[in-house]
Amino acid sequence: MFLSQAHCVSQWGHEFRKDYKDLSVLKHNFPMVPLMALTATATKRVAADVLSILGMKIDSNRTASFSTSFNRPNLR
């Protein structure tokens, strides 16, 4: 399952969408189906909230988290 705009899952993120919180049911019902949540705008607080809401555990050997700075000098 692929979720773009993952920040919408969190009430702390902009564009919060209440129905997105229900996506955790999919991870619960289909635990072996891969889940990828992407966003370019989440703060650390929002990212942690998204992981919690979606039932993704970073301490798992099956979950990875990648982040980088918002500062991208190559973009104009």
Model confidence at 12, in pLDDT bands (50, 70, 90)?
A: confident
Domain spans, the chain: 2-54
Q: pLDDT tens across 28-43, in order?
A: 898 888 888 888 878 8
Structure tokens at 76: 């104009």
Is the predicted pLDDT of residue 61 greater than 80, yes or no?
no
pLDDT of residue 64: 76
φ, ψ at 56 (rounded to 5°)? -95, 125
Question: Average pLDDT, stretch 5-34?
Answer: 81
pTM of the model: 0.72
Instruction: List Cβ neighbours of 21 (8 Å cut-off, separation of 6 or more).
Output: 9, 53
Q: pLDDT tens across 39-55, in order?
A: 887 888 888 888 888 88
